[in-house]
Structure 1
Amino acid sequence: MLIENDSSFSGFHGGLSKSIFTESIYPRVFQHLYLFFPLLTMAIISKEKVAGTIRLLHSSPLKMRDVLLGKYLSLLVFALILVIIVGVFVVYGTFSISNVDWGYLVPSLLAMFLMSACYIAIGMYFSSLTVYPVISALATFLTLFILGNISSLWQQYDFFREFTFFLSIAGRAEKMILGLITSYDLVYYLSICILFLLLTWLRMQRSIESKPWSVTLLRHLVVIIPILFAGYLSMKPSIRYYIDVTTNKDNTIKAKSQQIISDLPKEKPLKATLYVNLFSRYYDRASPANRNEYVWGFWEKYVRFRPDIKFDYVYYYDVKDGDSTLFKNYKGKSLEEIALLQLEGRGNKSDFDRFISPDSIRKLGDYQDEYAMPFMTLESTGKSAIIRTFPDDTYWPDEMHVSSALRRLQQEHAPKLLFTTGNLERNIYKLGEREYYKHTIDRLFRLSLINFAYDVDSINLDTQEIPEGIKILAVADPKTELSSSKIAKIKKFADKGGNVALFGEPDKQMILNPLLDSLYTGVTLLPGRLIEVTYDEMPDHVIPLNIPSELVAIVPEPFPSIVEAIQKKTKIDSAGLYRKVVGATAMNYDQDNSEYAIRTLSQTQANRNTFLKRGIVVLDSLPPLFEPDRGDIKQPNFDVWLTLSKKVDDKTQRVSIHGDADVGSTLRVNPIWDLLPMYSWMTDNLFPVFITKDKRNDIFLNLTATTAGIQKIVMLYILPGLLLLFSIVFLIRRNRQ
């Protein structure tokens, strides 16, 4: 209906194969398996004992293993029939979804069959223990409940954590439902089936032979220990194998990240150390009890390509110098006493020995700025990098953060960025809405530069020299005149090939223009303020367009959909490319008087009736009028963001000039569309390591309203009716025989 009634409809979000099957049909099916098979198997052997037919089986020429396998295989056939019934929906899905992703459909059927096989084996064992079917069913339910929740028991103890995680059945099917088949999951299902079948066979053998208890115990140990050991061994990183059958390899890190990991020297170990402060936010997510979430939930996709990653853990308790919050809440208590009280409140007082003291953690490094959240250090080739957790629902860092940190380990120097101070510029250490703290050094903001392996600091060029190794020098909205010595230092830095980022604002153009002239850019910030009169917004809220072809020319990685559209010469969706600026100045350039190649990355559009207003602009009154006799300028396009580049010796020197310094402010920052591409361009597109999602093709239904109605009738009435009719005929014919 959406396709028929909305011509602008561009497809369903996220892919229909996953949303219909993985997130809807399959979870409900697996919930019913848990209830169904214990009831199905509760009398499979016990009824033979109650009816006395077990004696006939013992006296028959059949061996006990033949009887056992016969019953098991018959139930597997029944499970296969259930899988086929669910497979009918898969068949319908392939015809109903355009470009269906088989990786989300077929592996789930395999998971359903394997889980059914496990449930049957467990149910048969308990059916062999008692003559009461109800007790058998309850024992099976209880065992499945224990296997599903055992991974949450005793997780603060290292031995129990690994052992219970291996035994847990929870999460095994989820990987297959998501299209990832792993060797250790297959081994687990196979081990559980074999284990309980052998235990059932031992139990049935006991009914026909008399052996001492020691022999019985030895037999059980010979069965249990090797099978559990084989299953445990299969989880070792070096012998794990993975098959990601989804079309876009959604369960696998991108090829770029794989290449970065493979480029790390194999002879140099990669060490990941998790630092957890007892007093930090979200401590519980990184506590010893949740280590499996850290190792298996977060790191597994990287361990898959680097099995020799060594994990270390540092648990500590400390507060930043000058932070007295805890001492006010726990009056008269020392830091050690407060730590003991908090652990006692969590029921983990015995864990105190894991935690090192404030003196010990400070000997390991100056991490006071990291105390607020758990963080990790990566170490290899004598270098280190920090990746952080974040106070949001995702919590763990993204692939972009990890890959950027890994790439930093490979570089001779980390990307270093300095912001000038001394002229009332935007400040990277202040939290105000106009300042630059958030997008530069805010450790709790996912898109800040510091979380993408940048080193960011400030410098006062009136008193300091620009040190060697600086990749980018930024001048952000100075409010007082730049001294000649400061301009000379910036020019010297640029002449040596250093990259410069300039951020301007209306009414301060005369401050940056001398610097632009000294760099021979050919660019001039025009006096005045850009005005765009609309019904909804303030007049200085201007919405220029980030030009797609120019944007991907300097850094294509974050914008694969734009690159594809340009290559195919198709229409580009402008959503996200229009970037609101508040209080912007325009600029023009003379290519003949510039040493640089100049690109316009963002400019106003002719259809938005934008003009450049000279003089004083009153924003909280009537909308400003266009007055050409007072110097106001109206033209189809005003440039808002320019990039310049030229060759300096053996490298490319780059300059970025933006007409709105608020683009990086705490209030209006949205780094993904402008700041991160700009900084990436200035670091030779090495940082950050952009990771983008592949375009999904299964976003349309091949259905009309009529077809959907027919399918509903077939699935709800005709197929169940045929199944019921077949069952009736089958039972009648069986009773007659």
Structure 2
Amino acid sequence: MGKVYRIAGLELKTFFYAPVAWLLLVVFAVQAGLVFADLLGARIFSQQLGGELPSLTQDVFGGSSGLFATMQRHLYLYMPLLTMGLVSREVHSGSIKLLLSAPVTTRQLVFGKYVAMLVFGLLFVVLLLAPIGVAGMAIPHLDRGYLAAALLGLYLLLAAYAAIGLYVSSLTRYQAVAAIGTLAVLAGLNYVGEVGSGVDVVRDITYWFSMRGRTGYFLKGLISSKDVCYFLLVISLFITLTSMKLDADRAWRAAWVQVIRYGLLLLVVVGLGYASSRPGMQYYADATRYATQSFTQRSKEIIARVDERVQLTTYVNLLGNLAHIGSPRFRNFDQSNLEQIRRYLPQLERDYVYFYDTTDTRLDPNIPLREQALRRATAYGFDMADVLPPSAIRQRVDLSAERNQFVRLLTYRGKTTPLRMFHDIEAYPGEAEVIAAVKRLLDKPLTVGMLTGHAERSPYRDGDKDYPPLMTALNTRRAWINQGAEVTTLEADSPRLHPDSLDVLILADPLVPYTGEQLANIQRYIALGGNLLLAGEPGRQAILNTISEPFGVRFAPGKLLQESKDYEPDLIQARFSGGISGLGFSVPGDTVITMPGAVGLVYRDTAGFVTAPVLETDGRYTWNRTASFDLKTGRVVFDPAVDRKQRAIVAVATVRQLPGKEQRIVVTGDADFLSKGEWSRYNVRTGNAELGTQLLRWFSHGEYPPDTRRPAPIDNRIRYDKAQFAGARVLTGVLLPSVLALGGTLIIIRRRRK
């Protein structure tokens, strides 16, 4: 090793005595300093405006626009300029002959030069410690584990770039050609994953060789054994290729021998890479403070109960909206987004089924379905021989409940549940949706029934007053069916209206009174301990009180109004009551729940029921109007002569302890707060959607949706003010690069004088 270190030392002196190396360090320092200053300055500005800051460590340094990702995108420009002369300089000057004839092995020569590059490359990582140090002074509780993982990923990338540059430098005597060649190889390794993407075997090989995205986990704070092995194998491959190239210059070998040697090397690297990427051979270390890149302990305990094979089948309708996601060309992208599932379910088996059938996507009625499917297949790269026609797919599986959309079905022990894609920025199912699906297979879903037949709100109709976003919207992440519930509708006289068949009954705004038999059936369901969500509207008090009075809740006469200069007076902006946390609800105290048209509730404890308020109005602005009025024909204002402002309760929760269970009932003086119209309201920042999730959690006793919450981040405040930020900008963007430039200049001048 002494000769390796000596060669490395001589190579490092060459670097430090050359202006190019110092220039690259200075440029890198300036770029890193200015990018960091801009990122930190934007967060300081947001904080001064009262904005909420997330985990600042990952916000400033991580993400696609953070410091690490920004600097990573430019690293490939620095390394070729450093590695271009490692071997080509020796070949061009003729000193390579002296080196090869000296008492050093080819391996020692290659390792010595590579060690020098590792040491010099470490300086780039050291330069990133300057903005990290400033961030440590500006941001309390910086997440050091995350930073360490990200820096490790960047350094491994630098090491791989250095190995590639070293090899390319051994192929030519011209440094400029070596630099351009290194850029070409790096570009090829970034885009090789696109080669053969439509062919299974070829796709797997080229995807493994692709360097694109290999630091993705590192920059999220997650260390993956697969990615570490990839970098080590790439480094080993190109260092070995360099040694073999220099050996070939020293000793002649037949062409067929060379082919065998190179083939065996490639075979070993590919084999080790394939083995390291198998599910059972992958290991992860989450370096973030709260393990944000891993499932929570609660989720791990649920998944640990899965002890047999799990099948995940993706059904791709060529005529649907997401057909391209399921195409062979996007296979690696699709599976990389599902890798978290495979990480915790290594026994998972994945399959894709292609078909074409009618769906809710607009199709041309004048063109046969097969012809339209053929056009899509040609565009997306499907082989029509693998695509099932409507008759074949319908015999295999019934996807009508999914409207023949793109869907994944998770199967375990003969039970199947859907795992859907969503129309939001993340698109793919997250931890909560995956665990909800697994729990549905292991246990059972929460069965929710909605009464119909008396013009109640519907879980299926797409009207503004109906409940699809809350209950059954297939591609809405928060919808109860995607968080562990199973929704059904039933009549009030149905024999299924029984606590043994339903976990929750929803009765929302009936317009037509129930018959005596139907009312008795509803009351019997409540008496037997059935859970209930009862939502009313002004003018329906007579219908609703016959249901609610037995457990001590009454809908007050009249209609609540609220003073506002911007909105109609019947738009009630309610807030959670002070004791809400005692009921198990977890929401910020300043959350606003909009209720357009509400009545007050009066309650008392009776028949074993204990009732507590959930939502209330602001008594400074709210009053109850019992006289009739019409907002469409006239303006209604507060009249001190006849009106009295008061705090009104607009939602209550009541519980009753029964043998072996706890009955839970929620009553609200408004039925619109869970409707599509209120979920899509844009002129008031509301928590209606979050309340819908909280209700699901409350009725399921915390089972659904799965609790994936983590502690709130503690690195969410910046100490610096505007003046201190200006000093930090000068320090990282000007002072440090200036010191580097001055130091490099003095070293080069001193060397030349000698």
- Normalised to the residue count of structure 1, the TM-score between the two structures is 0.91
Native 8 Å contact 1:613 1:633 kept in 2: no
Query: For 1:356-414, what per-residue CA distance to the aligned partner results, in whole angstroms no more than 9, with x for missing partners?
Result: 22122112332123245311111113322112112333221232221111111121x42
Alignment match, 1:414: 445
1:502 deviation in Å? 0.8
Alignment match, 1:602: 615
**Local SS of the residue matching 1:657:** strand
1:2 deviation in Å? 11
Alignment match, 1:304: 343
Work out the CA distance in 2 between the residues paired with 1:4 and 1:269: 50
Work out the CA distance in 1 between the residues paired with 2:74 and 2:42: 33
Instruction: Name the CA shift for 1:548/1:448 in 2 (closer, same or farther; >3 Å).
Output: farther
Instruction: Name the CA shift for 1:93/1:193 in 2 (closer, same or farther; >3 Å).
Output: same
Note if 1:460 corresponds to 2:491.
yes
How does 1:261-300 map onto structure 2 within 5 Å? 261-264=303-306, 266=307, 268-297=308-337, 299-300=338-339
The higher relative CO (CA closer than 8 Å, separation ≥ 6) is in 2
1:596 deviation in Å? 0.5
1:84 deviation in Å? 1.2
1:453 deviation in Å? 2.8
Alignment match, 2:542: 510
Query: For 1:535-573, what per-residue CA distance to the aligned partner results, in whole angstroms no more than 9, with x for missing partners?
Result: 2211111112112532x33334xx3xx5xxxxxxxxxx6
**Local SS of the residue matching 1:43:** coil
**Local SS of the residue matching 1:662:** coil
Alignment match, 1:248: 290
Native 8 Å contact 1:386 1:453 kept in 2: no
Note if 1:715 corresponds to 2:732.
yes
1:647 deviation in Å? 2.2
1:19 deviation in Å? 2.3
Instruction: Name the CA shift for 1:81/1:639 in 2 (closer, same or farther; >3 Å).
Output: same
**Local SS of the residue matching 1:475:** strand
1:506 aligned partner, one-letter code: P
Alignment match, 2:245: 203
1:549 aligned partner, one-letter code: G
Work out the CA distance in 2 between the residues paired with 1:277 and 1:209: 59
1:98 deviation in Å? 1.1
Instruction: Name the CA shift for 1:625/1:39 in 2 (closer, same or farther; >3 Å).
Output: closer
Native 8 Å contact 1:377 1:385 kept in 2: yes
Alignment match, 1:566: none
Alignment match, 1:691: 708
Deviates more, 1:701-710 or 1:269-278: 701-710
1:545 aligned partner, one-letter code: R
Instruction: Name the CA shift for 1:8/1:535 in 2 (closer, same or farther; >3 Å).
Output: farther
Alignment match, 1:667: 677
Note if 1:342 corresponds to 2:384.
no
2:563 maps to which of 533, 537, 555: 533
* Percent of aligned pairs sharing the same letter: 27
Instruction: Name the CA shift for 1:257/1:597 in 2 (closer, same or farther; >3 Å).
Output: same
| Paired residue total | 703
**Local SS of the residue matching 1:606:** coil
Work out the CA distance in 2 between the residues paired with 1:327 and 1:4: 53
1:614 deviation in Å? 0.4
1:498 deviation in Å? 1.4
Deviates more, 1:361-370 or 1:503-512: 361-370
Work out the CA distance in 2 between the residues paired with 1:435 and 1:174: 42
1:301 deviation in Å? 1.9
Native 8 Å contact 2:319 2:361 kept in 1: no
1:690 deviation in Å? 3.7
Native 8 Å contact 1:465 1:489 kept in 2: no
**Local SS of the residue matching 2:170:** helix
1:301 aligned partner, one-letter code: Q
Note if 1:393 corresponds to 2:397.
no
Alignment match, 1:113: 155
Work out the CA distance in 1 between the residues paired with 2:376 and 2:47: 59
1:541 aligned partner, one-letter code: L
Native 8 Å contact 1:618 1:624 kept in 2: no
Note if 1:546 corresponds to 2:585.
no
1:33 deviation in Å? 1.3
Alignment match, 1:585: 599
1:618 aligned partner, one-letter code: D
1:724 maps to which of 694, 718, 741: 741
**Local SS of the residue matching 2:216:** helix
Q: Which runs of 5+ in 2 are unaligned?
A: 1-40, 680-686
2:458 aligned partner, one-letter code: N
**Local SS of the residue matching 2:252:** coil
2:728 aligned partner, one-letter code: Q
Note if 1:319 corresponds to 2:350.
no
Query: For 1:658-696, what per-residue CA distance to the aligned partner results, in whole angstroms no more than 9, with x for missing partners?
Result: 100111221113653322222322222212224335411
Work out the CA distance in 1 between the residues paired with 2:196 and 2:570: 60
Instruction: Name the CA shift for 1:435/1:72 in 2 (closer, same or farther; >3 Å).
Output: same
Deviates more, 1:469-478 or 1:101-110: 101-110
1:400 aligned partner, one-letter code: A
Work out the CA distance in 1 between the residues paired with 2:515 and 2:666: 21
Work out the CA distance in 1 between the residues paired with 2:47 and 2:446: 46
Note if 1:651 corresponds to 2:661.
yes
1:612 aligned partner, one-letter code: N
Native 8 Å contact 2:422 2:428 kept in 1: yes
Alignment match, 2:696: 679
2:311 aligned partner, one-letter code: K
1:237 deviation in Å? 0.9
Work out the CA distance in 1 between the residues paired with 2:361 and 2:730: 68
Work out the CA distance in 1 between the residues paired with 2:44 and 2:190: 45
Work out the CA distance in 1 between the residues paired with 2:553 and 2:73: 66
RMSD of aligned alpha carbons: 2.4
Native 8 Å contact 2:341 2:434 kept in 1: no
Native 8 Å contact 1:373 1:389 kept in 2: no
Work out the CA distance in 2 between the residues paired with 1:414 and 1:109: 43
Note if 1:328 corresponds to 2:365.
yes
Note if 1:150 corresponds to 2:150.
no
Alignment match, 1:212: 254
1:78 maps to which of 96, 112, 120: 120
1:170 deviation in Å? 0.8
Alignment match, 1:700: 717
Q: Which runs of 4+ in 1 moved over 6 A?
A: 1-11
2:434 maps to which of 389, 399, 402: 402
Alignment match, 1:569: none
Instruction: Name the CA shift for 1:423/1:402 in 2 (closer, same or farther; >3 Å).
Output: same
- Normalised to the residue count of structure 2, the TM-score between the two structures is 0.89
2:724 aligned partner, one-letter code: T
Deviates more, 1:86-95 or 1:702-711: 702-711
1:6 deviation in Å? 11
Alignment match, 1:187: 229
Deviates more, 1:694-703 or 1:620-629: 620-629
